[in-house]
Amino acid sequence: MKRIALFLGTNIAVLVVLGIVLNVLGVDSLLQENNVDLDLQALLIFSAVFGMGGSFISLAMSKWSAKHMTGAQVIEQPRNSTQEWLLATVKRQADQAGIAMPEVAIYDSPDINAFATGMSRNNALVAVTTGLINNMKMDEAEAVLGHEVSHVANGDMVTLALVQGVVNTFVIFFSRVVGHVVDRVVFKTERGYGPAYFITSIVAQIVFGILASAIVMYFSRLREFRADKGGADLAGREKMIAALKRLQAVHEPSQLPDQMVAFGINGGLAEGMRKLFMSHPPLSERIAALQANS
């Protein structure tokens, strides 16, 4: 869903900016000891502070980022019966799930889509597209809202922030170890850090970051199955299955462009190694999982 793309995009941007700032300011040189060896314990602490920090800055910014990147308009006072129904449905489901009422927003897009984001279970945003409102039956839309409310109730954004923070930590740690080894062993730099360290560590951070994203996507796929079950509990299993089948009928016959796949509610389609980087399981697997729980 869009929440994954928004979170990862903000997180990557924060991490890249932090890395560039640290290199420009020369903070990395503080991790060097006796001009030869790295203090690995200090490096790990440093990596954890900035790795986890970047992830939770992204989480704290998630609602603001979502509103500004999608143009979502929060419903303050409902202006028609559809908006009244959206607010009433989310309120009822939030009460059932035991969370505070999330903000409810609509953003203009022909795509059938929805997302939930926010810093905590009691400070969240649920947004839907105009395409979803115009093209889904009420029962199907109710199930989609239940799926999103379940993401909030399950604390999925915090869980992903923790997972992302851990992988960020090791990406920063190992990229600097690689940069140090290349600088010392290959280029024989004896004092301080040469250009090879900065270039290699940045390249390694990008490569390790791509590999680490597969780990985050694995956990994201697991959370989708759980949110489907939550949506079934809140709205009804048949309604949840019907909503997924509607998405399957709308999305699967036409391939979304690569740059848009992560924004689709079904996570798009992929083959081979690309499956490792899908934020959502295939809709067929999600439908089968719900049917198996009958």
Predicted local confidence at residue 146, as pLDDT = 97
Any domain includes 94 = yes
Predicted local confidence at residue 53, as pLDDT = 87
Q: Which domain holds residue 104?
A: 74-155
Q: What does the chain come to in residues?
A: 294
Predicted local confidence at residue 294, as pLDDT = 65
Is the Cβ–Cβ distance between 242 and 139 less than 8 Å? yes
Instruction: Give me the half-sphere count of Cα atoms (radius 13 Å) on the Cβ side of residue 35.
Output: 5
So which residues are the catalytic ones? 148
| Average per-residue pLDDT for the chain | 82
**CA–CA distance, 181 with 184 (Å, rounded to integer):** 5
Q: What is the DSSP string of 185-249?
A: IIS---SS--HHHHHHHHHHHHHHHHHHHHHHHHHHHHHHHHHHHHHHHHH-HHHHHHHHHHHHH
Predicted local confidence at residue 183, as pLDDT = 86
Structure tokens at 286: 């999600």
Question: Percentage of the chain surpassing pLDDT 90?
Answer: 44
**How many domains does one find in the chain?**
1
Predicted local confidence at residue 127, as pLDDT = 93
Per-residue pLDDT at 28 exceeds 80 = no
pLDDT confidence band for 255 (50 / 70 / 90): very low
Predicted local confidence at residue 293, as pLDDT = 78
CATH number, domain containing residue 138: 3.30.2010.10
Of residues 57 and 229, more confidently modeled: 229
Per-residue pLDDT at 74 exceeds 90 = yes
Tell me what the mean pLDDT of segment 75-93 comes to. 96
Per-residue pLDDT at 261 exceeds 50 = no
pLDDT per residue over 108-132, tens digit each?
A: 999 898 999 998 999 999 999 999 9
Burial 136-148 (b: 16+ CB within 10 A, else e): beeebbbbbbbbb
Predicted local confidence at residue 20, as pLDDT = 63
Any domain includes 93 = yes
Per-residue pLDDT at 64 exceeds 80 = yes
Is the Cβ–Cβ distance between 169 and 246 less than 8 Å? no
pLDDT confidence band for 263 (50 / 70 / 90): very low
Per-residue pLDDT at 54 exceeds 60 = yes
pLDDT confidence band for 155 (50 / 70 / 90): very high
Predicted local confidence at residue 222, as pLDDT = 92
Report residue 293: phi and psi, to 5°. -90, 15
Per-residue pLDDT at 186 exceeds 50 = yes
Per-residue pLDDT at 142 exceeds 60 = yes
Any domain includes 102 = yes
Point out which residues pair with 74 in neighbouring strands.
Answer: 105
pLDDT confidence band for 35 (50 / 70 / 90): very low
Per-residue pLDDT at 100 exceeds 90 = yes
Any domain includes 220 = no
Any domain includes 125 = yes
Tell me what the mean pLDDT of segment 28-40 comes to. 53
Predicted local confidence at residue 184, as pLDDT = 81
Structure tokens at 234: 């809140």
